[in-house]
Amino acid sequence: MNDHNYNWLGRLYFWTARKLYQEFAWTYDLVSWLVSFGRWAGWRRAVLPYLQGERILEIGFGTGELLLELTAKGYNVFGLDRSSKMHRITGRKLDRESVQLPRVLGEAQALPFASHSFDTVISTFPAEFIMAYTTLAEVSRLLSLPKASMMQDGGRLVMVGVPAARENTRKKAFLEKLLAINIQDTQDQFLAMVRSAGLKVTLEYPDGLGVDNPVVILTHA
């Protein structure tokens, strides 16, 4: 699903998001803080309790804040982002902290990593690329395989900020009216792609997140 499926307000939103990630990348941290009333870092950290394993890939790392946090926690972290401007901003932050980690300029639909090479893939507030089957199939390829002897269900994709909402919430009604979409239809399309990619979905609603969006976890079916 792409932004052409939305009304003019939806298309304006995605246009603005792309500009914020490209020409106006230098404003990203400030704008995120403002629109979230200072909660953006907390929302982003909602994925942390659901990480497993040591090898972590962040898709769409933006200005690199989560890469730094994960490195400080001792994870073996990799990053991929399509924006050269975000790479420059992140590179400066990593240099200031004397942190080195592999970062790739690339697309989520063609991930340049070996199969089954990551225990957790994360993506926070991803752009429309996350709604593409090719992205989900690539992530499925990268996730480590289940290990019955260790009672593990294999690698997982952990996301926050994807189009999902509880039934009959004000936020759901507002988004449907604003973007002229049916969120249930959008979720059904997403779930169909998830199944086609050989994955299954679990939703978690952590306390204190401050928003109604769940943490979405995809694992091998």
> Is pLDDT of 74 > 70?
yes
β-sheet with 156-160: strand ranges across? 103-105, 76-81, 55-59, 120-124, 156-160, 215-220, 199-204
> What confidence score (pLDDT) does residue 186 get?
73
> What confidence score (pLDDT) does residue 185 get?
72
Nearest-angstrom CA–CA distance, 30 and 41 = 11
Name the burial class of residue 97, with classes exposed (0-12), middle (13-18) and buried (19+) by CB atoms within 10 angstroms of its CB.
exposed
Better pLDDT: 88 or 146: 88
Nearest-angstrom CA–CA distance, 158 and 15 = 25
> What confidence score (pLDDT) does residue 125 get?
83
- What is the DSSP code (8-state) at residue 188? H
> Is pLDDT of 44 > 90?
no
Q: In the chain, where are the structural domains located?
A: 3-220
221 to 45, 105, 190: CA distances (angstroms):
26, 30, 15
How many other CB atoms are found less than 10 A from the CB of residue 27?
Answer: 12
Mean pLDDT of the chain: 81
Better pLDDT: 168 or 69: 69
Q: Which residue type, as a one-letter code, is found at position 162?
A: V
> Is pLDDT of 32 > 50?
yes
> What confidence score (pLDDT) does residue 7 get?
53
> What confidence score (pLDDT) does residue 79 get?
98
Residue 4: pLDDT band (50, 70, 90) is: very low
For domain 3-220, give the fold.
Rossmann fold (3.40.50)
> Is pLDDT of 17 > 80?
no
> What confidence score (pLDDT) does residue 149 get?
53
157-194 confidence digits (pLDDT tens): 999 877 555 555 565 565 555 555 566 677 778 889 99
Q: Where are the alpha helices (DSSP H) in 36-167?
A: 40-44, 65-72, 84-96, 133-142
> What confidence score (pLDDT) does residue 26 get?
64
Question: Which two tokens mark 221?
Answer: 């079916």
| CA atoms in the 13 A half-sphere facing the CB of 126 | 29
> Is pLDDT of 8 > 70?
no
Looking at residues 67-71, what average pLDDT do you find?
Answer: 96
How many other CB atoms are found less than 10 A from the CB of residue 217?
Answer: 19
Residue 110: pLDDT band (50, 70, 90) is: very high
> What confidence score (pLDDT) does residue 168 get?
52
Q: Do residues 106 and 141 lie in contact, with contact meaning Cβ atoms separated by under 8 Å?
A: no
Residue 88: pLDDT band (50, 70, 90) is: very high
Q: Show Cβ contacts of residue 26 under 8 Å, excluding neighbours closer than 6 positions.
A: 85, 89
Question: Which two tokens mark 92?
Answer: 């400066």
Looking at residues 125-148, what average pLDDT do you find?
Answer: 89
Q: For residue 21, which of 88, 95, 97, 102 has the smallest C-alpha distance? A: 88
Confidence (pTM): 0.79
